Amino acid sequence: MQTSTNEVIILWASYFDELAAVTFAYEFRQMGMPATLVAIHNSEEQRCSDILTHSKQGLHQTLAAAERITCLVIPTSSTALAQFEQDPQLWQLIQMVHENGGRIVMARPNGATDPEIARKLPPSREIMRYPTVEKLLLFARWLAHSLVVGDGLNADRPTGVVPPLVRVAAHSDPTGVAGAIAGIVRDYGFAEAQAVGPSAMGQMMKAAAIAKSYLAADKLSLFAKPDFVNVRIGGQPRSAIRLFISAWPVGMDNWIDWEQAKTFVDADED
């Protein structure tokens, strides 16, 4: 278990992703690890106070405790951080958390990142990019679990935080693909497999079913969520199925009521 000195900080500013902030905070809270909301500017409204640990501290106070920060969640993309280019405390905090081995979590870029901003951030492969809204809860649950009881899913976690994409073809061996999926899930906490065409998709689903039995031997329960993605093969646009795959300790499947989690979204829209 993590010690009580570890802290999770969620940065906040106008137009940041409130759903992401609430989702991460909720999952951390379920694991007994409160998250503190810190406004980048003191004038920013600190919302979601019923879910996040209320804090009046700013970046200056947060910097003083940077060595205790296990995870820094920035619920926006790197492209949106350009508005804070002249705020040295923000970039110093990100740098200190990264240098101390903490995890930096951000949204995936929604456009080209300004080169000046890119130079201020850690290398892209060392930033954890949370997925789109339909997979956000799954990712947040995995992250919270790995921070608190990381010995289960990702002991000896590789330096890179982005798992390799498992590409499945019509002639792929499902058993071999299943072994790759299970190994990546054990190392990274989640995996993504991709297939183009019905035959390849069939092999991918067989592999996922076999991977479930592999992970069951480790007392892990697999779950998967499909999504459509656009790819180019031979210069031609194609549609592919990408499978987001993760696993939790057996018996943890119903640990969080999905309808209960959805109420946070409904309440936010009122």
**In the structure encoding, which two tokens stand for residue 153, read together?**
């899913």
The pLDDT tens digits for 161-192 are 567 889 999 999 999 999 999 988 887 778 88
* pTM confidence score: 0.59
Q: Which domains does the chain have, with CATH numbers?
A: 7-137+139-147 (3.40.50.360), 163-249 (3.30.110.20)
pLDDT digits 0-9 by tens, 133-166: 777 887 887 788 777 655 433 344 444 456 788 9
Question: b or e along 24-55 (b: 16 or more beta carbons within 10 Å of the residue's beta carbon)?
Answer: bbbbbbbbebebbbbbbeeebeebbeebbeeb
